[in-house]
Structure 1
């Protein structure tokens, strides 16, 4: 009897979103997660402190994200797992794990991208590479990112769930490449489109990207759009999440009954209250002796 090998990657990458808060968000996510009964590997990420980023070839922090991507690839290759759980960090943390799984499971592999945004941009549209990751997994975008992908994933093997208000570029990319999408309202109504997609595409092995900003930011406050220091109109015109936690859990449980989940990446955790509490504690007498 063969034993399936799982690893858990903790990757507190913040440069892809150009936001130091992602670093602590990933660390706290790893602390909150259930105890692991598998190897837990932390991918070293350069600290946000005194480490300003520069834009190189249209990508902010390109040197750092490319180096961290290579390290994640090497680490995964050394462990050669069957399943990978990822705790990040910005969305780009799923590039190396999902590329590895796409190569391992080939034609039966699919990606369920639970996200308010499709993450299919390139440096021509946006300089923050966390918005490039799904496009790179499909073989499109910056050469240093797509070099990690030995088997690009076809659009028909991708389902973006929870998509909200895509840009014209994103809409065009989705249509051009035949990517499947499911609006938040469809998920709330039962996710039939996603269930049919798994059956129609004969997806036997599934990787799930769970960007926490797919959640209703008015109720789950540890996401980008809940930043208490932002102006009330700072995010006007940007697609925001509207799903409840239980709706996403139910969706994942549904697909778990239909196919084998071999990848799960959780990203973009921004615990604003905990970040402010950490800063406050560090400033108090007797706390830094």
Structure 2
């Protein structure tokens, strides 16, 4: 399928990339964390979340491209410890093609699961080489691999970006970001078999408590990398679920929404932000409306 664009991107432009990828979240996990919805609707909630983000957030004034995402069920294929690997590999290839064609200096991405950051962060790593750092705001480290217990690809995003990745998919990536230039922010929920990779690979992590009153520890880390350019990823489950359940998993005791906003603004004052992702938005209220209106007169579905 061809990509959808609203304009031709001039060199150095700010591209908005819409990537409503949903296959990266393991089907069993989605069913477990969102049992109030039919599984087919819950799995595709990430596509709804992408649409909502594009509708409610300000336009950037630049071109918009959409990564084609099939809505049909891939049939639960599991290869090399990755569920739906074939369709996810094709999406990664399509996204990289769009980015290469557009050649933007900055990219804002709305997803979709956390894996929507892989193509654009590695593309910008190729563009800016050793002058790019990554701040990954997430309750989880996303450092699973095909050898760990969870088969959902969205939990492998940081692994892919830092080069600890699936060999087949890694051949597509234009570059990686060394682990010592990646900071995990808001980390406080994980599975033990993957968490060990944080220390083994040399990633820096900050718990919510570390940044509760000040962003300075993170700014000090950013200064230590020597990088002037920054890519920021936000998994919305980093926001304390006691404040609002924005993600699939309702993770309590995370950063507040105000703290996430303050951290991002402080980072913007300290570096040239060349990429921002908003991912894993699971709009439960919107899904509830969908279910209420399913089969409704003159609406159907």
Same fold (TM > 0.5): yes
Which one of 54, 60, 63 corresponds to residue 30 of structure 1? 54
Partner in structure 1 of residue 233 of structure 2: 209
Partner in structure 2 of residue 247 of structure 1: 259
Which one of 129, 136, 157 corresponds to residue 181 of structure 2? 157
CA contact (8 A) 1:137 1:146 kept: no
* d(CA) in 1 for partners of 2:266, 2:58: 21
* d(CA) in 1 for partners of 2:76, 2:20: 16
Partner in structure 2 of residue 279 of structure 1: 291
Decide which moves more: 65-74 or 11-20. 11-20
Match of 1:207, SS?
strand
CA contact (8 A) 1:9 1:86 kept: yes
Partner in structure 1 of residue 36 of structure 2: none
* 1:1-289 equivalences in 2 (<5 Å): 4-18=12-26, 19-48=43-72, 50-125=73-148, 126-226=150-250, 240=252, 242-288=254-300
**Quick one: structure 1 residues 241 and 8, their matched pair in 2 at CA, closer, same or farther if it must change by over 3 Å?**
farther
**Quick one: structure 1 residues 223 and 171, their matched pair in 2 at CA, closer, same or farther if it must change by over 3 Å?**
closer
Equivalent pairs counted in the alignment come to: 275
CA contact (8 A) 2:12 2:103 kept: no
Runs of 4+ in 1 over 6 A off after TM superposition: none
CA contact (8 A) 1:116 1:240 kept: no
* d(CA) in 2 for partners of 1:83, 1:247: 24
User: What's the CA shift for 1:241?
Assistant: 5.7
Match of 2:249, SS?
helix
Q: State TM-score, norm by structure 2.
A: 0.86
CA contact (8 A) 2:184 2:204 kept: yes
Decide which moves more: 82-91 or 176-185. 176-185
* d(CA) in 1 for partners of 2:11, 2:161: 28
* d(CA) in 1 for partners of 2:93, 2:173: 11
User: What's the CA shift for 1:51?
Assistant: 4.7
Partner in structure 2 of residue 234 of structure 1: none
* d(CA) in 2 for partners of 1:177, 1:240: 27
User: What's the CA shift for 1:122?
Assistant: 0.5
| 1:205-232 deviation line (CA, Å, top 9, x unaligned) | 1000100011111222232134xxxxxx
Superposition RMSD on alpha carbons, in Å? 1.9
Decide which moves more: 185-194 or 51-60. 51-60
User: What's the CA shift for 1:4?
Assistant: 4.1
* d(CA) in 2 for partners of 1:191, 1:170: 27
User: What's the CA shift for 1:36?
Assistant: 3.1
Match of 2:129, SS?
helix
Give 5+ residue unaligned stretches, structure 2: 1-9, 27-42
User: What's the CA shift for 1:53?
Assistant: 2.9
Decide which moves more: 211-220 or 252-261. 211-220
User: What's the CA shift for 1:161?
Assistant: 0.3
